[in-house]
Chain A
């Protein structure tokens, strides 16, 4: 089977790093910004050569896996209909000093990804959100490297979580599986010591253990 096709929606600080890592992992990668794809040519050429600029609808439509990395205030610009049937990864975080106070995300629900899921109307998997974009860029390591960092992958659908875990591994990180999606709350800013800590797999597992969160059984 050929590699799943990846689309990154959002071509800012985070999106360009994710696209670069997906290309480096050998995945056919499309990237979309907020405007005309032709305006992205230079940015992609410099920061993520090999990725293909497209409109968001086209990028999502032709992909198997879609990473959503747009400002939350503009989540409504994501073409939700093009996401149906895709594996959708929410890499975003809600942090009011930057995102502004968004009433929808202020409500007391378990995790921001559940709100993203409800807004987009599709199942999502939460991952790539708890390391900064500089750190994601700096910490890619081959499998088995003792310095390799871990990324949690939280979702409701075990098959989707498996596919995302494979992408995480291919992009240079150890996947740690969590279920269900709401368990991903511990990955968010201010919820625990995981956000921004750049932990190895052993460290992430031990931090989760201290929080009383058990990884999903399929965890490799």
Chain B
């Protein structure tokens, strides 16, 4: 297994990028979206490879329709790839998702990507009238349908989660052939197996120590090999929360109150995250620190998991935009170039 990782490492140099759910904090939505578009524009100019916008349906996040914001970003950027992170496919219609991203792909000159996932939270199920007991079936069927639509049109399909399609033309077609569709994995082993079986690239969310995700990556590669997919075409990306500061201690101290507030959405931190747990997470792998510290941590993901892309959630917890901009600048100018050089 290890040999295959090493081989994979030689195949792809590293891409670096950012992702966001548009955490709102106290900033009005209009301002937050404008900031996000400006930050994406900066990321493009500074040479980052990808921006991914995720989907939540909660008042603490501004992004429930990331494809709309990606379209706005496409019109002010030239090079950066435009991805979701994730599209909650279980509660969406794969036909509509494909049309939206094929349109974005045409608008952006072939820069659109989808990360399809089941979502960390499940608030979209009652919102769109889906039954959580069908959680697995919905994702399994819809992912297969989305991949089929990306591969061919007209489409003939029948299943249990959506009305059948009979020789249906799904238009427009994406500029890229095919539109890149990643599978987002949060830790569930069956999700890694599914991604491998389908031969789709896999995105893994990792917040602290990357070592436990080795099992997921091994499952992914073995499932892909078992299904006959060429290992040379398989890609793994990872991503998690990130804050870069000038100095290690300065970054930790500055980011802590925002991170503690952000993680209070988790039941174990409903009263805030204890500082000693925060420091423990940073020691384990959370990407908070000086540029060199963040470089080392991303390289550890690459060594352990064979990733060829890392995306950091760069605007966590309603930080003031000046603080976000500074961290983003350090990532783009002092982290990304070093990693690119080390891995090219």
Interface residues of A (CB under 8 A from B): 11-13, 16, 33-34, 42-43, 46-47, 71, 73-74, 93, 95, 97-101, 132-134, 137-138, 189-190, 193, 195-197
Tell me whether B208 and A134 are in contact (CB under 8 A): yes
Tell me whether A100 and B122 are in contact (CB under 8 A): yes
Cα distance A137–B214 when bound, in Å?
A: 13
**Separation in Å of the B259 CB from the closest CB of chain A?**
15
Q: Which residue of A lies closest to B266 (CB)?
A: A196
Given contacts A138-B209, A138-B212, 13 further A-B contacts (CB under 8 A): A42-B223, A46-B222, A73-B135, A74-B133, A97-B122, A97-B123, A98-B120, A98-B121, A100-B132, A133-B187, A189-B267, A190-B270, A195-B267
Cα distance A13–B189 when bound, in Å?
A: 7
Cα distance A99–B131 when bound, in Å?
A: 11
Query: B163 contacts the other chain (Cβ, under 8 Å)?
Result: no
Chain B residue contacts of A99, Cβ below 8 A: 122, 132
Interface residues of B (CB under 8 A from A): 120-123, 125-126, 132-133, 135-136, 187-190, 193, 208-209, 212, 215, 218-219, 222-223, 226, 265-271
Chain A residue contacts of B125, Cβ below 8 A: 100
Cα distance A88–B30 when bound, in Å?
A: 52
Chain A residue contacts of B133, Cβ below 8 A: 73-74
Cα distance A11–B191 when bound, in Å?
A: 12
Chain A residue contacts of B266, Cβ below 8 A: 196
- Please name 5 pairs of A and B residues whose Cβ atoms are closer than 8 Å in the assembled complex, sorted by A: A98-B122, A99-B122, A100-B132, A132-B268, A196-B267
Tell me whether B208 and A13 are in contact (CB under 8 A): no
- Given the interface contacts A13-B188, A97-B123, does A46 sit within 8 Å of B218 by beta carbon? yes
Cα distance A95–B123 when bound, in Å?
A: 12
- Given the interface contacts A73-B133, A101-B126, A138-B209, does A42 sit within 8 Å of B219 by beta carbon? yes
Chain B residue contacts of A137, Cβ below 8 A: 212
Cα distance A220–B290 when bound, in Å?
A: 46
Cα distance A1–B151 when bound, in Å?
A: 59
Contact partner, B126, options A12, A34, A100, A133, Cβ 8 Å: A100
- Given the interface contacts A132-B268, A193-B271, does A12 sit within 8 Å of B189 by beta carbon? yes
Question: By CB atoms of chain A within 10 A, which of B189, B193, B215 has the most?
Answer: B189
Q: Which residue of A lies closest to B265 (CB)?
A: A97
Q: Which residue of A lies closest to B214 (CB)?
A: A46
Q: Which residue of A lies closest to B208 (CB)?
A: A134
Q: Which residue of B lies closest to A73 (CB)?
A: B132
Tell me whether A42 and B193 are in contact (CB under 8 A): yes
Question: By CB atoms of chain B within 10 A, which of A134, A190, A195 has the most?
Answer: A134
Tell me whether B188 and A134 are in contact (CB under 8 A): no
- Given the interface contacts A12-B189, A42-B219, A97-B122, does A34 sit within 8 Å of B267 by beta carbon? no
Cα distance A190–B265 when bound, in Å?
A: 11
Chain B residue contacts of A73, Cβ below 8 A: 132-133, 135
- Given the interface contacts A12-B188, A138-B209, does A97 sit within 8 Å of B135 by beta carbon? no
Cα distance A137–B133 when bound, in Å?
A: 28
Chain B residue contacts of A13, Cβ below 8 A: 187-189
Chain A residue contacts of B269, Cβ below 8 A: 196
List 10 A-B pairs, minimum CB-CB distance, nearest first.
A196-B268, A189-B267, A100-B132, A43-B189, A97-B121, A73-B132, A13-B187, A47-B215, A46-B219, A12-B188
Chain B residue contacts of A95, Cβ below 8 A: 267
Cα distance A138–B222 when bound, in Å?
A: 24
Tell me whether B219 and A34 are in contact (CB under 8 A): no
Cα distance A133–B189 when bound, in Å?
A: 13
Question: By CB atoms of chain B within 10 A, which of A42, A47, A138, A193 has the most?
Answer: A42
**Separation in Å of the B267 CB from the closest CB of chain A?**
3
Cα distance A63–B188 when bound, in Å?
A: 25
Chain B residue contacts of A12, Cβ below 8 A: 188-190
**Separation in Å of the B236 CB from the closest CB of chain A?**
15
Cα distance A42–B195 when bound, in Å?
A: 14
